């Protein structure tokens, strides 16, 4: 596993000179996720599951014109 920090919460909470995002080592577009070299799982909705078990909620802006059901 690489020592890259993910672009999500880990990079914001642990400053490091090597704050580059990891690269994809296993792509699963049919399932909507990719595994990065640092162990982070990145989902198509922009959410992340970090190697230490923390979750980064999706942060993609909502598409204009889409109504959210209440």
19, 64 contact by CB (below 8 A): no
51, 38 contact by CB (below 8 A): yes
* pTM exceeds cut of 0.85: no
37, 4 contact by CB (below 8 A): yes
pLDDT score for 10: 46
Give the model confidence (pLDDT) of 51-64 as tens digits: 899 999 987 666 66
- Read off the tokens for 58: 């999706």
pLDDT score for 16: 38
Provide the residue-wise pLDDT of the chain in tens; the chain has 70 residues.
565 554 554 444 433 335 567 899 999 999 999 999 989 999 988 899 998 999 999 876 666 655 555 4
Query: Strand, coil or helix: what is 9?
Result: helix
């Amino acid at each position: 596993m690489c020592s890259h920090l993910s672009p999500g919460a880990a990079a914001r909470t642990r400053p490091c000179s090597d704050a580059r995002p990891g690269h994809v080592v296993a792509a699963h577009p049919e399932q909507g996720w990719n595994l990065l070299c640092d162990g982070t799982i990145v989902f198509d909705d922009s959410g992340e599951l970090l190697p230490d078990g923390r979750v980064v909620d999706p942060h993609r802006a909502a598409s204009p014109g889409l109504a959210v059901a209440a």
